[in-house]
Structure 1
Amino acid sequence: MLTRKGKYGLKALSFLAGAQPEKMISLSDIATARDIPRKFLEAILGELRNAGFVVSRKGKDGGYRLARAPEQINMGLVVRAIDGPLAPIACASSSRYERCDDCDEKSCEVRRMMLEVRQAICDVLDNKTLADVLAQMQLDDLLEIPCPE
């Protein structure tokens, strides 16, 4: 499940992706525009900076911007950087596998189903970029405009 931290991180990145590429955006502007608590956003942007998705600068003209083009930002990697593995349970994780205490993994129907869930999540997120997300938002906006009769 995507945590609130993950959701806010994605919202912040989409806001930055909509800005001019080299323009630094203040923490306050992002927090206000996306309705994210400022302190929480500061921590999230710090994680995104450490993972190489955003760059920051302090001072009068400081703020945040994307570290690379939206086409180069993979959504699966972003979610993993913020929330960790995409698997809904530890025994279905490929990167942080942990054996369950209460079942036989070879015959566990829950694990088998969660492996499918993990794969479906990976198939979507690992094949989407931030640019794809923005394009879908713009398409959705266009579809909401009524056609003149």
Structure 2
Amino acid sequence: MHLKRFTDFALRVLIYLALHPQRIISINEIARAFDMSRNHLLKVVNELVASKLVTTYRGKSGGLQLSKLPADINVGHLTRKLEGESPLINCTKPLCPILPACTLNQALDEAQQAFFDQLDRYTLADLIGNQQDRLVNLLAQTGSEANYE
């Protein structure tokens, strides 16, 4: 299974915000930290705001903060929401001639469910774990911590 770039960016945004719980973070800072397109990042942030995971603040010192504690953000739930749970393959368009006897679709459905079940075991806090200082230092090396807007 391959995650959409949108989901990848959403998870990175949440990790970044969780690493800086005492600050309001600008979109530009996150874009620089991960070398992301600011325009694409705006779409991701809008979805996170609509999902009530991120709060935005307007104005010169505005930006973003998590709306929930990292321990309350489930990675599996978020991934399902952003990815959707559509089947990995569509055996009806075009109609596969072996569909009545094939179990490939069932096997892939079970694999997809196992994937989401595994992600359900993790929260945003788990993704950071005891690596908070190391993650912050790695991001600081990208120059994202200095001269942010």
TM-score by length of 1: 0.77
Between the aligned partners of 1:86 and 1:117, the Cα distance in structure 2 is 13
Equivalences for residues 69-148 of structure 1 within 5 A: 69-85=69-85, 87-89=87-89, 101-102=95-96, 107-135=101-129, 138=131
Which fold has the larger relative contact order, with Cα–Cα distance below 8 Å and residues 6 or more apart in sequence?
A: 2
SS at match of 2:40: helix
Identity of aligned residues (%): 32
Q: Report the Cα offset of residue 9 of structure 1.
A: 1.0
Runs of 5+ consecutive residues of structure 2 not aligned to the other structure: 135-149
What does residue 68 of structure 2 align with? Answer: 68
For the structure 1 residues 16 and 90, does the alpha-carbon distance in structure 2 shift closer, same or farther, using more than 3 Å as the test?
A: farther
RMSD (Å) for aligned C-alpha atoms: 2.3
SS in 1 for 2:111: helix
- Aligned residue in 1 for 2:14: 13
Residue 48 of structure 1 aligns to a residue whose secondary structure is helix
Structure 1: gaps spanning 5 or more residues: 92-98, 142-149
CA distance in 2, matches of 1:41, 1:130: 19
> SS of the counterpart of 2:59?
coil
Spell out, residue by residue over 1:21-73, the C-alpha distance to the aligned partner (whole angstroms, 9 max, x if none). 4x210000011111111000001000111011111111112111111000000
TM-score of the aligned structures, taking structure 2 as reference length? 0.77
